[in-house]
Structure 1
């Protein structure tokens, strides 16, 4: 009878990583983030104010529209259930 072979030991997932290699990867990630942010073309103050104004007007119009729909439907429900 053949003797069973011992289980093959797999290399750990970390391999030969040092305990602090994660810190090096994190620092590299932060360097890459800073590098990419330097390439961003940021909007001017005028563009930012213009975009913000457009968003606020659209939100206000949506709020008024939904408020009117809600008021109309509430009155209809009160009339029928009422």
Structure 2
């Protein structure tokens, strides 16, 4: 029973080592580019939601 358990643990660790070798990390330029896109998108969306919220507040105040 322990041999079977140990063999499955060894096989799992071998598979993990093989998968870790497949990992590719982004370059510095790719990371900076992706971060810039996310920050710009967040700024644009926050401005859009702010304008939309202000409009809806104005609209509701006119209705009431």
Taking structure 2 as the reference length, the TM-score comes to 0.73
Q: Could you list the runs of 5+ residues in structure 1 that have no partner in the other structure?
A: 1-17
RMSD over equivalenced CA pairs, Å:
2.2
Runs of 4+ in 1 over 3 A off after TM superposition: 23-31
Rg (Cα) greater in structure? 1
Q: Which has the higher helix share?
A: 2
Give the structure 2 partner of residue 6 of structure 1.
none
- Give the count of matched residue pairs: 63
Taking structure 1 as the reference length, the TM-score comes to 0.60
Give the structure 1 partner of residue 40 of structure 2.
57
